[in-house]
Amino acid sequence: MDARMWGFLTGIFLTAVVVAVSSYVRRRKRAKSGEIWDDSFDERQQAARGKAFEAAFFTLLFYLLVNAAVIKIAGIWAQPGVDGVMGIFISIGVFGIICIRSDAFMTLREKPKTYLLLFGLVVLIQTMASVDSLHTFTTDGLLNWNLLSPVCGVLFLILMASLLLKMRRDRLTDGDDI
């Protein structure tokens, strides 16, 4: 296994540890305070998320179709797996943007600021990873795995911008209704 794969696996492992520890700490804190925490989506949000899943699914299908046509006509343009992950990023982006626009991204008790912080952190990490691998986005004329860091960073930047725009629009339009 090369250094990149070790880095990839270490990243996944550390993320799992951070998520597990933080959720354990939060659960214990809530149990001590007797607070009831609702981590669910309401019925409108569930319906909106269903539509977002549908849109993301068809986006992925369309992408795979276009990708297959491009490969057939112009030849392979990326290393194996890279084109697939790009499609996953695009469909995740579609899902995220639709959910954010329809107020179905966060559960009932989650705060937008938490997600802004999280998205910002991902953008920062991916930017640092991109700078590290700058100018090495191709191998033998094919786009390689290094490209996925900036693409992931851009994806989360777009999600962050969508969330900020949504928060601003809510403040402007719902101000007198709250």
Partner 1 sequence: MKNLKLKAARAAMDLSQQELADAVHVSRQTVNAMEKGDYNPSIRLCLSICKVLGKTLDELFWEE
Tokens at 168, concatenated = 């601003």
Q: Using CB under 8 A, pick the residue from 4, 44, 168, 169 that binds partner 1.
A: 44
Is 54 near partner 1 (CB under 8 A)?
no
Q: What character string, x for contact with partner 1 (CB under 8 A) and - otherwise, covers 4-43?
A: ----------------------------------x---xx
- Residue located via tokens 């191709």: 138
Nearer to partner 1, 140 or 176 (CB): 176
152: three-class secondary structure by DSSP: helix
Q: Taking the complex as a whole, how short is the minimal distance between the CB of residue 178 and partner 1, in angstroms?
A: 6
Per-residue x/- mask for partner 1, residues 97 to 126, rule CB under 8 A? ------x----x------------------
Let me know: does 30 contact 37? Beta carbons within 8 Å: yes
Work out how close the CB of 102 gets to partner 1 at its nearest, in angstroms, rounded to a whole number.
Answer: 9
Q: Tell me the Ramachandran region of residue 103: left when phi exceeds 0, alpha when psi lies from -120 to 50, beta otherwise.
A: left
The answer to whether the CB of 157 falls within 8 A of the CB of 91 is no
One character per residue 63-102, x = contact with partner 1 (rule: CB under 8 A): ----------------------------------------
Q: Compute the half-sphere exposure of residue 89: CA atoms within 13 Å on the CB side of its CA.
A: 18
**What's the closest the beta carbon of residue 106 comes to partner 1, in angstroms?**
8
Strand partners, 143: 78, 138
Measure the CA–CA gap between 69 and 63, rounded to whole angstroms: 10
Task: Kindly list the residues in this chain that would bind partner 1 in the complex (CB under 8 A).
Answer: 38, 42-45, 103, 108, 170, 174, 177-178
